[in-house]
Structure 1
Amino acid sequence: MKHLDIIVKGKVQGVFFRKSTKAVADQLGVKGFVKNEGNGDVFIAAEADTTTMDMFLDWCKEGPEDATVTSIESHEGELKNYRNFEVVKK
């Protein structure tokens, strides 16, 4: 298992990015959360095995249909052992 903090930049708010991220995370078995940042980015904390995480990251680079992802940053972090995947609202 590994933990990644992922920052997605581009047109990623107001395009159902968080809801779509949760659907994909639930389908793949990724645990963690997704939230909008004040600067227009989307922040994702994700935990999964390496293979699953690679598939999840591939999806994050595209996002949902109306999103335009310009870049993605990911940093490994400490495992938090999340129980599920949640959408965090402000």
Structure 2
Amino acid sequence: MSAARFIVSGKVQGVWFRASTREQAIALGLRGHARNLADGTVEVLAVGEPAAIDALADWLGRGPPQARVDGLRRGQADGGSAPPGFLIG
């Protein structure tokens, strides 16, 4: 198991970004969360197989049709605190 933390910037709040991320993550067998941050970005924690996390990263770089992704930062994360399933916060 691997874990990664992503910060997605652009037009990513109010455009179904978190719900769409949850759908993608569940389809890839990942657990974690997607949540809005006060600065207008979205934080995503993904825990699972490295290839699945990479696939989610590719999707996060585009997002759903209503979104406009201007930036994507990826860092290491501790997956031990990730919830079962994939939550939206």
| Structure 1 segments (4+ residues) deviating >6 Å | none
1:13-28 aligned at under 5 Å gives the runs 13-28=13-28
Greater Cα offset, 52-61 or 77-86: 77-86
Letter in 2 for 1:82: P
Which TM-score applies when normalising by structure 1?
0.93
Q: In the alignment, what sits opposite 1:65?
A: 65
Query: 8 Å contact 1:20–1:64 — kept in the other structure?
Result: yes
Deviation by residue 1:25-55 (Cα, 9 ceiling, x = unmatched): 1111110000001110000111011111111
Query: 8 Å contact 2:45–2:77 — kept in the other structure?
Result: no
Which TM-score applies when normalising by structure 2?
0.94
1:1-90 aligned at under 5 Å gives the runs 1-80=1-80, 82-88=83-89
- For the aligned residue pairs, the C-alpha RMSD in angstroms reads 1.0
Q: Which runs of 5+ in 1 are unaligned?
A: none
Separation of aligned partners in 2, 1:77 and 1:67: 25
SS for the counterpart of 1:29 is coil
> 1:82, CA displacement in angstroms?
3.3
Q: Percent identity?
A: 33
